[in-house]
Amino acid sequence: LEVISSVEPRIADATRQELADQRASLKLIASENYASPAVLMTMGTWFSDKYAEGTIGHRFYAGCQNVDTVESIAAEHARELFGAEYAYVQPHSGIDANLTAYWAILAHRVEGPWLENAGVKNMNDLSEADWEKLRADLGNQRLLGMSLDAGGHLTHGFRPNISGKMFHQNQYGTDPETGLLDYDALRAKAKEFKPLILVAGYSAYPRRVNFAKMREIADEVGATLMVDMAHFAGLVAGKVFTGDEDPVPHAHVVTSTSHKSLRGPRGGFILATEDYSASVDRGCPMVLGGPLSHVMAAKAVAFAEARQDSFRGYAQQIADNAKSLADGFLSRGANLVTGGTDNHIVLLDVTSFGLTGRQAESALLDAGVVTNRNSVPADPNGAWYTSGIRLGTPALTTRGFGHDEFDRVAELIVHVLQNTQPGTTKAGEPSKASYVLADGVADKVKDASAELLD
């Protein structure tokens, strides 16, 4: 930090402050974690300075031998860790991984047959008329993904996202009574809509998914099954999700981030069956430019960490802790979407406290509890104010929390919410954003958190 300080002290100060804040607060954002010093240090090297567009052994720049080494090791660890036929570790983020996967699936399913029919190997050899027809065909494909308010991600066909614009999209939700995935309803929708791509995976669904069933549905309608395991990759790596709950043996393509429950650097990666590997391997130039070689190196380190036996214990503890947190809420009368959890996420419906998600998130932050507001299914408050708070256990599990600590976390959160009242606008109208947290509560909760984090 002294080196940074000598150039821009405000950045050094902010970095120091971020460390202090992350250490002092209860970090319950389901997509966050604490990467190891080895992972963090690997990101801060001169690999950042190297350009390496292309793929392993086939670069558009000279002098990429060390990047080749790094990318090969990262891909090898990813294949071994997840039991995948092929791994691609270049995507810079989860969104990049999804976009790359979509275009790879389009290349495999749409472009490939087109080129074959036209009797050419390269797209540049297509006639202008065929090229226009191919472009129209690419723009005419269908994608079915989980809706945002049921727990899906923006990139799963949400209209404002590019995935909702580049495909004819349709969305599946959850059962209105139970909040659970309804595979029969999903099958019926898939049969009617006939997607090219069926996307499974979630950002805010607190339950496990049966990927064997998802594959059955995809096969019935001739769709490619793509699973976005960004959130739960750590639970797959740690063998908490096995058999039908492990996406890798069932999906054609699996996308992920490396920084959530998997506890690596910020980044994305893709796993695929051999069939799809050649298309995914063309991520650059299809969607990506130069890979972040320093981050690929850090992914290799994180995958190596996740292959150690201790990671299995960590992953199991994430899931056990989520149950403890959920039970802590239920025993104190709070409402949870789906009535509980069996992954790393707990989705707390805060309407019974008379609050919006926005008010609850802000009051909790005042008390040093860092969460994010989240829609609940058919949310009456919409995607901005919301009615839920999403909580995740990966980060505090890294800090050594177990059952008792998570029960206490539930107690502290309920205490904050019970002592928060909705506020009003300046004109005295009811407000979905402002709130009043009773005096003394924030300090009391911060003191209790400090004891837990000690």
Question: According to CB under 6 A, which residues from 174 to 193 bind ligand PLP?
Answer: none
| Residue 77 touching ligand PLP (CB under 6 A) | no
Nearer to ligand PLP, 179 or 264 (CB): 264
| Geometric angle at alpha carbon 268, from 265 and 272, rounded to 5° | 135
Interface mask (CB under 6 A) for ligand PLP, residues 257-296, using x and -? x----------x----------------------------
Residue 202 Cβ vs ligand PLP, minimum distance, rounded to whole Å = 6
Cβ neighbors of 326 (< 8 A, separation 6 or more) are 206, 336, 340, 341, 346
- We find the least distance from the C-beta atom of residue 101 to ligand PLP, in angstroms, to be 11
Alpha-carbon span 68 to 91, nearest angstrom: 15
Under rule CB under 6 A, residue 371 binds ligand PLP: no
Q: Is 151 in the site for ligand PLP (CB under 6 A)?
A: no
Q: Which residue has the tokens 């149950």?
A: 323
Residues 6+ apart with CB under 8 A from 426: none
Closest CA to 183 of 207, 165, 153: 207
Strands 224-228 and 253-257: parallel
Q: By C-beta, is 31 or 381 nearer to ligand PLP?
A: 31
Least distance CB 267 / ligand PLP (angstroms):
7
**75 touching ligand PLP, by CB under 6 A:** no
Active site residue 257: yes
Cβ neighbours of residue 167 under 8 Å, at least 6 residues apart?
Answer: 102, 141, 142, 143, 157, 196, 197
228 tagged catalytic: yes
Calpha distance 27→12 (Å, rounded): 22
Q: Which two tokens stand for residue 415?
A: 């205490």
Exactly one of 54, 173, 201, 368 binds ligand PLP (CB under 6 A); which one? Answer: 201
Helix (H) or strand (E) holding 26, with range, is strand 26-27
Q: Is 153 marked as a binding-site residue?
A: yes
Active site residues: 51, 53, 228, 257, 260, 266
Residues that bind ligand PLP (CB under 6 A): 31, 93-95, 98, 153, 155, 201, 203, 228, 230-231, 257, 268
Binding site per annotation, positions for (6S)-5,6,7,8-tetrahydrofolate = 148, 152-154, 274
